[in-house]
Structure 1
Amino acid sequence: MGSCCDNSCTLDAKEGRQRSTLIKVLWINAIMFVVIVAAAFYGQSTALMSDSLDNLGDALTYALSLFAVSKGPELKARIALFKGGLIFIAASVVIAQIIYRLVTPTLPVYEVMSIFSIAGLLANGLCLLLLWQHRHEDINMSSVFECSRNDIASNLSVLLAALGVWFFNSGIPDIIIASFLAIILLRSSAHVIKGALAELSNPT
C-alpha cells in the first residue's frame, strides 16, 4: 500500500518545492534587474551595472533551472554548462564596461550606489535564504545556489565602492570593485562549468 509514493511521490514533492522556490527567486531577480540597471545608468556606476547584469543572468539562470527541475541528470548538467556560459558573458560585459570607464572617466553618484546596493543585498539575501535548503540536491540547484551566493558578494562590493567614491571623490574605486566583481564572475563561471563537465563525464 502506498508503494507508488515511496519514490515517485517523494520525487514529485521535491520537484514541486524546487519549482516554487525558483519561481520566487526568478521574480525577485527580474524586478531587481530592471530597478538596478536604471539606477546604474542614472548613477553612472560600472560596479552597479555589473550588479544589474548579475541579476539579469540570475533571472535567466532561474528560468533555465525551472525548466530543468523535472529533467534527467544529463540534461541538468548540460543546462548548468549553459548557465556557466551565461556567467562568463556577464563577466565579459563588465570587463567591457571597465575599459569604457577607463577611456571616458566619470564620477559615479555614490548615494545611488549605496541605496541600490543595500536594496540588492536585501533582495539577494532573501533569495539565498530560499535556496539554502536546495543547495545540495542536484547539479541544477547547486549551480543556482552558486549564482545567488555570488550576488551577496556583489552587493557588498558595490556598497564598498560607493564608500570609496564618497571618500576619495573619484571613480577609481568603482572601477576597482567592478574589476573584482568580474573576477568573481569568471571564477564562478569556471566552477559551474567544471561541475557540469564532471557530471557529464560521470553519469549516474
Structure 2
Amino acid sequence: MACTSCAPGKPDANNNPAWRSALWIALAVNAVMFVAEMAAGVAGGSKALQADALDFLGDAANYAISLGVAGMALAWRARAALLKGVTLAALGIYVLAATAWAIGNGRTPEAEVMGVVGLAALVANAGVAVMLYRYRTGDANMRSVWICSRNDAIGNVAVVLAAAGVFGTGTAWPDLIVAGIMAALGISGGVQIIRQARSELSGERRIHTLENEVA
C-alpha cells in the first residue's frame, strides 16, 4: 500500500546534478594535487607533504566511488562509505608507520618547498571544502566526502605551520609531528565514516526484515 503521509516525489540528493558536478570538480582537484604534492614531498624530504599527498589520492578515489554509487539505493551508498572509511583509516595507519620510521632514518625537509606547496594545497582544499559544505549533513556517503575535504584543509594549515617550524628550528621534528597529527586525523575520520555507514546498513537490514515479516 502506498504511503499517504509521505511527501510524494521527494528528490534524492545523490541524484542532484549540482552534487555530481561538485564531485567531478573535487575529483579533478585532488588528482592534480596528489601528483604535485607527492613529487614535492619526495623532492623536499617532507613526510607531512607526502602524508597530505596520500590524502589527496585517497580523496580522489573516494570521490570516484561516490560518483559511481550516486543515485543507488542507500545500502549501496553505505557500503561505498564503509569502503572509504576503511581506506581512510588504512592510509592514516600507513602514514603513522612511515612517520615513526622517519624519526630515526629521515632527513631535514626543505622548509621553502613545504611552505609554497602547503599554501597551494590549502587554497585547493579550502575551495573544495567550501563547495561541499552544504552536503555535510547528508547520508554516510555524502558525509564521508565532507569529512575528507575538511580533514585535508586542516592538514594543509598544519603543513604550513610545520614549514615555519622547520625553518625556525632547522630540524625535522615539526614536519614529523604534523605528519603524525594528520595520520591521527585520517584514522579518526575513517572511524567516524565506518560507524555511520554500519548504522545505515543496520537500519536497512531492519527495514527489510520488517517488510519480509509483513509480506
What is the TM-score of this pair, normalised by structure 1? Answer: 0.92
Return the offset for 1:15: 2.6
CA contact (8 A) 1:43 1:112 kept: yes
Equivalent positions of 1:16-165 (< 5 A) are: 16-165=17-166
- Residues 93-130 of structure 1: per-residue CA shift (max 9 Å, x gap): 21222122112130100000000110000000110111
Of 7, 10, 14, the residue aligned with 2:9 is: 7
| Matched length | 198
- Identity percentage over the alignment? 36
Q: 1:43 to 1:12 in 2, by over 3 A?
A: closer
The list of structure 1 runs, each at least 4 consecutive aligned residues, that deviate by more than 6 angstroms after superposition, is: none
Q: Which residue of 2 aligns with 1:174?
A: 175
Distance in 1 between residues matched to 2:135 and 2:190, nearest whole Å:
20
Q: 1:68 to 1:13 in 2, by over 3 A?
A: closer
Distance in 1 between residues matched to 2:76 and 2:182, nearest whole Å:
29
Distance in 1 between residues matched to 2:111 and 2:50, nearest whole Å:
13
Q: 1:169 to 1:82 in 2, by over 3 A?
A: same
Q: Secondary structure at the match of 1:202?
A: helix
Q: CA RMSD in A?
A: 1.5
- Residues 120-174 of structure 1: per-residue CA shift (max 9 Å, x gap): 0000011011111222232211110011000011001111111111111000111
Q: Secondary structure at the match of 2:12?
A: helix
Q: What amino acid maps onto 1:71 in structure 2?
A: M
Q: 1:163 to 1:146 in 2, by over 3 A?
A: same
Structure 1 residues without counterparts, runs of 5 or longer: 1-5
Distance in 2 between residues matched to 1:100 and 1:137, nearest whole Å:
38
Distance in 2 between residues matched to 1:180 and 1:11, nearest whole Å:
36
Q: What amino acid maps onto 2:167 in structure 1?
A: W
Distance in 2 between residues matched to 1:135 and 1:101, nearest whole Å:
35
What is the TM-score of this pair, normalised by structure 2? Answer: 0.88
Matched, 1:199 2:204: no
Q: 1:13 to 1:157 in 2, by over 3 A?
A: closer
CA contact (8 A) 1:61 1:83 kept: yes
CA contact (8 A) 2:13 2:19 kept: no
Distance in 2 between residues matched to 1:91 and 1:57, nearest whole Å:
10
Q: 1:108 to 1:12 in 2, by over 3 A?
A: closer
CA contact (8 A) 1:51 1:155 kept: yes
Return the offset for 1:11: 3.5
